[in-house]
Amino acid sequence: MKPWKEEKNAPATGQLLCQLADLADSEVFELTLAPESKYPFRLFIHKQEGRYRCFMNRCPHFGIPLNMQPRQLFSTDKQQFICSTHYARFNFHDGFCTEGPCEGSSLEVIPIETRNAAIYVAAAAGSGH
Looking at residues 16 to 45 of the shown chain, list those that interact with ligand FES (rule: CB under 6 A).
none
Counting Cβ atoms within 10 Å, is residue 88 exposed (0-12), middle (13-18) or buried (19+)?
Answer: buried
What does the per-residue mask of binding to ligand FES show for 56-95, with x meaning CB under 6 A? ---x-xx-x------------------x-xx-x-------
Of the pair 52, 62, the CB lying nearest ligand FES is at: 62
Contact between 100 and ligand FES per CB under 6 A: yes
Contact at 8 Å (CB) between 67 and 43?
Answer: no
Strand partners, 118: 19, 115
How far is Cα 122 from Cα 110, in angstroms, rounded to an integer? Answer: 8
- Shortest approach of ligand FES to residue 73 CB, angstroms? 12
Strand partners, 81: 74, 90
Interacting residues toward ligand FES by CB under 6 A: 59, 61-62, 64, 83, 85-86, 88, 100-102
